[in-house]
Amino acid sequence: MVVSIGCHLEFEDDQTPSRVIVERYRATIEEDEAWEVLRPVHRRGGGTEFDLAAEYCASDDPLDRRVGTDILSELGTERVGGTFIEESLKLLIPMLADPESTVAASAAHSLAHRGDPAAIPHLVGISEHSDVEVRMGVAHAIMGHEEPEP
């Protein structure tokens, strides 16, 4: 069955285990369509997917940590409001201080997708980061919020 969700590309609704999908995403993360590989995991948005994201976020490998933040970014967003918002923030906010700028940038972009204003003070704290991708993530995350802090 092919499913079309909003502005997202069409994808097949398969039963591939989330861990397998995440490993495919990890292997193709730099490719243009990599995000679509991760879409079924985002759509499922359950406890299995959150636990998988948490596992990747806790890794010593920066690529794994980046993958973990990417999982959290749109977890359950096919449902109204998404899933595991507060839990995601508890994982993502500390990752803004990750020594790898790719991870910090991904965490900032992920916080943009989570849309919770509680992250704003933490984002402001890294708004002058030396890496342009981190600063772009901060700008992305702060856009749309009318108040500078919650």
**Can you list the domains of the chain with their CATH numbers?**
2-142 (1.25.10.10)
Could you tell me the pLDDT band of residue 2, with boundaries at 50, 70 and 90? Answer: very low
d(CA 150, CA 136): 21
- Torsion sign (Cα): 82, 90, 70, 54: negative
- The angle subtended at Cα 23 by Cα 30 and Cα 84, nearest 5°, is 95
Which residue did the predictor score with more confidence, 144 or 101? Answer: 101
Lowest mean pLDDT among 12-21, 25-34, 37-46, 103-112: 12-21
Q: How far is CA 33 from CA 8, 11, 56, in A?
A: 11, 12, 21
Average pLDDT over the chain reads 88
Q: Which of 119, 34, 115 is nearest to 80 (CA)?
A: 115
**Other CB atoms within 10 A of residue 5 CB:** 13
Burial class (CB in 10 A: 0-12, 13-18, 19+), 128: exposed
The predicted pLDDT at position 10 comes to 41
d(CA 50, CA 74): 11
**Mean pLDDT along residues 98-103:** 97
Could you tell me the pLDDT band of residue 84, with boundaries at 50, 70 and 90? Answer: very high
The predicted pLDDT at position 67 comes to 98
Residue 125 amino acid letter: G
